[in-house]
Structure 1
Amino acid sequence: MESETWTITELAERAGAVLADEPAEVNGRVRDLPNERLIRWYTTIGLVDPPLGRRGRVALYGRRHLLQLVAIKRRQAAGRSIAEIQLELAGAPDTALGEIAGLPGPGSEERDDRFWAARPAADIAFRPAVVAEVTAPVTVPALRLAPGVTLVLDGLALTPTDLAAIGAAARPLIDALLDRGLIPHSADDVPGRHP
């Protein structure tokens, strides 16, 4: 768990404070400042990670969540659709989110210790997906494998048999993430996981 955590209300307030300093474009479809309901919706569609954990019944959020919220709102202010934002930000490392959000890291020497986000030796930079001209909203199908783990499947139609096969194939990955403490929930929350 991160050193500093916030409730959903505190997260919305922090994001609002960052975004309030800039003049907002008036758009009847886009809310300028995120609220609790919007944060929950972003989490449901995979734009914002699930909470880090809970203190009783209260969900706790951290710096990555703040970076995600501010980056989403900055992209919306630039006229991007939710589908375009999903394509660009899904799985983005904290450094890329920080650049988009315009927020410096808490320490310039801070490392991202998530093994899947480590840069290869060639130091390949994060490259957002290239989006061709979009004339209509695009739905990007995603499958929630476990709390905190979402598989995005662009352009695929899945049958119940496909879903069962993906779930079975994902179990070793989910087990590894749980064993390393990289997803915040207990094994009881993961279908098919036997402690």
Structure 2
Amino acid sequence: MSKEVDYVQFVRDFERQHGRPPTAEELELEQGTDPLAGIVTWSTPEEVQAEMDRINASYKPTIGERVTDGLSLLGRGLFKAVILLFQTPIYLTLFFFNLIKATIAVIIMWFVSKFILLIALSAIGIIFFHGDSAQLPKFFIWIYELMFGSGALNDIGTVKIFPNPAIDMSIITISILFLTFVATFTKIEHKQR
């Protein structure tokens, strides 16, 4: 009697986990206990292909939709995303590829934006204040020293790309993780319109 109850429970758990009844081969495998049952899910090639088709749908969300979806990940969505990452190897693989792409993109954006900000602040100082750092407003000096270090306005002017390493690295890390989660999980949330 207990074996029949175990069989019924196995079938229920299998249907709940895989969305279909077990095949005869899977019922035979049930005779031996699987130590990874319920922890690791195995996908058939058809399920993997269906998942990849769903991910690579032709609909491309706009930047505003991606940002909105990305911000929705900050609540319960982040917990769901992390659980989904560890349950499915496809999302874990996508996550790591997107992590590499986001790291490269954020680092390039960081250096380019610092360079553009340096040129813009220098141009404003030269055009409106004739290049004299003594005439600059205190707010302008504060922004300049925050972004490029305290010696940036001297005659020799040493510009530091990372004047506050802890703050800079925190911003870069949070940006990388945010962009990675957005790139990994917003593609699958939208339906065809």
Q: Smaller-chain TM-score range? A: under 0.3
Q: More strand by proportion, 1 or 2?
A: 1
Report the structure number with the largest CA radius of gyration. Answer: 2
TM-score, normalised with respect to structure 1: 0.20
TM-score, normalised with respect to structure 2: 0.20
Q: More helix by proportion, 1 or 2?
A: 2
